[in-house]
């Protein structure tokens, strides 16, 4: 993997401007597209020389990109880790080279001394908010409610945590049952494919909980093709609140969306500048987020940025 520069021609310390090596997960979802755009635009606005590498959802590509940033002696490395595990060796290499590392969006299970800070959402909280909406919907009923779950990329922090938070909250109502749970890899195509199989295997699905809008949107196609009405025959909860998801929510095809904010570029560049100047930064910076029902989506859509 070659990390390619997006702006300027700085080559690490000594060039005047700050050089940031950023390894992105991929381009799997609308959220990711908005996140990449935010990082590129804010780097340009801050005059930071960005070397951007797309890992195409593969950890080995991210590790290779980080090694390439170390070799190029960038000033700061930032990355959004595809999966939680397996980062110790490369993080040690960055530390040995004296290059500070910033985590954005997703967490790793390495020792926290291996990176300076982690900027991103609280995914467990997002899962809890999804579960709470469902508990509230069925508060007066004790009839069985059959839920299917479309999980994100296997081993990724948002997939692990959104599942955990959701299941923690719904277990307070024993009639809410997850009857099937499978990965749809955070993509629309896979979300559709998995939902088609789930609809064939289970005739009695009441609720779909998808870990992102894209998988939910793919599943909506499968539900419609099976002759059912998304949002009515099957209630749908998703996470992200990108424009296409919000449109489906406003149209009544999704029932509830928990927001996950992809616009991390501005905060990231602030952190990069501080780290470069040896200023202290908070160890964990949690993104502020809200939730949307169908009415809230109609109001928010005209001014939605992504």
CB of 200 to ligand AHR, least distance (A): 26
Query: How many residues does the structure list for the chain?
Result: 306
Q: Does 32 participate in binding ligand AHR (rule CB under 6 A)?
A: yes
Burial class (CB in 10 A: 0-12, 13-18, 19+), 102: buried
Does residue 158 bind ligand AHR (CB under 6 A)? yes
What span, in angstroms and rounded, lies between the C-alpha atoms of 200 and 187? 20
Residues in 62-101 at the binding interface with ligand AHR, rule: CB under 6 A: none
Q: Looking at 27-35, 48-56, 230-238, 273-281, which segment touches ligand AHR (CB under 6 A)?
A: 27-35
Residue from 19, 23, 24, 29 binding ligand AHR (CB under 6 A): 29
**DSSP reduced 3-state for 297:** helix
Residue pair 107/140 in contact (Cβ under 8 Å)? The answer is: no
Largest CA distance in the chain: 67
Compose the 177-216 pattern: x for residues touching ligand AHR by CB under 6 A, - for all others.
---------x-------------------------x-x--
28 interacts with ligand AHR by CB under 6 A: yes
104 binds ligand AHR (CB under 6 A): no
Structure tokens at 46: 């801050």
The stretch among 24-32, 136-144, 220-228, 266-274 that binds ligand AHR (CB under 6 A) is 24-32
Structure tokens at 152: 């994100």
Cβ proximity to ligand AHR: between 188 and 235 the closer is: 188
292 makes contact with ligand AHR (CB under 6 A)? no
Site string for ligand AHR, 221-260 (x = CB under 6 A): ------------------xx-------------------x
Burial of 243 (0-12, 13-18, 19+ CB in 10 A): middle
Size of the site for ligand AHR (CB under 6 A): 13
Q: Interacting stretch for ligand AHR, rule CB under 6 A, among 23-31, 71-79, 223-231, 246-254?
A: 23-31
| Token digits of residue 84 | 């939680």
Q: Please, which residue, 100 or 158, has the CB nearer to ligand AHR?
A: 158
The C-alpha torsion from 52 through 57 and 63 to 65, rounded to 10°, is: -20
Binding flag, residue 169, ligand AHR (CB under 6 A): no
Instruction: Round to whole Å and give the CA distance between 9 and 11.
Output: 6
Decide if residue 161 touches ligand AHR (CB under 6 A): no
The side-by-side arrangement of strands in the sheet containing 76-79 is 4-5, 49-54, 19-24, 76-79, 101-104, 117-120, 284-286
* Positions in the binding site for ligand AHR (CB under 6 A): 28-29, 31-32, 105-106, 158, 186, 212, 214, 239-240, 260
């Amino acid at each position: 993997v070659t990390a390619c520069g997006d702006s300027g021609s700085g080559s690490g310390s000594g060039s005047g401007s700050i050089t940031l090596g950023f390894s992105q997960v991929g381009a799997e979802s609308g959220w990711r597209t908005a996140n990449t755009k935010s990082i590129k635009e804010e780097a340009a606005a801050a005059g930071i020389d960005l070397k951007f590498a797309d890992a195409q959802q593969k950890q080995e590509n991210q590790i290779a990109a980080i090694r390439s940033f170390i070799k190029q002696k960038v000033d700061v490395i930032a990355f959004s880790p595809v999966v939680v595990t397996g980062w110790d060796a490369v993080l040690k290499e960055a530390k040995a080279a004296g290059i500070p590392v910033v985590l954005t969006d997703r967490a790793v299970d390495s020792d926290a001394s291996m990176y300076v800070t982690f900027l991103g959402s609280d995914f467990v909280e997002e899962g809890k908010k999804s579960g709470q909406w469902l508990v509230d919907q069925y508060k007066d009923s004790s009839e069985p409610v059959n839920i299917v779950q479309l999980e994100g990329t296997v081993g990724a922090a948002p997939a692990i945590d959104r599942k955990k938070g959701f299941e923690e909250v719904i277990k307070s109502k024993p009639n809410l049952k997850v009857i099937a749970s499978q990965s749809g890899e955070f993509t629309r195509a896979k979300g559709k494919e998995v939902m088609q199989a789930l609809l064939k295997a289970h005739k009695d699905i009441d609720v779909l909980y998808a870990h992102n809008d894209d998988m939910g949107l793919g599943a909506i196609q499968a539900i419609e093709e099976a002759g059912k009405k998304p949002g009515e025959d099957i209630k749908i909860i998703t996470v992200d609140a990108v424009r296409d998801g919000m449109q489906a929510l406003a149209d009544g095809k999704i029932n509830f969306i928990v927001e996950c904010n992809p616009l991390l570029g501005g905060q990231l560049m602030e952190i990069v500048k501080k780290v470069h100047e040896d200023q202290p930064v908070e160890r964990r910076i949690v993104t502020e987020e809200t939730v949307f029902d169908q009415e809230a989506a109609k109001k928010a859509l005209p001014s939605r940025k992504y």
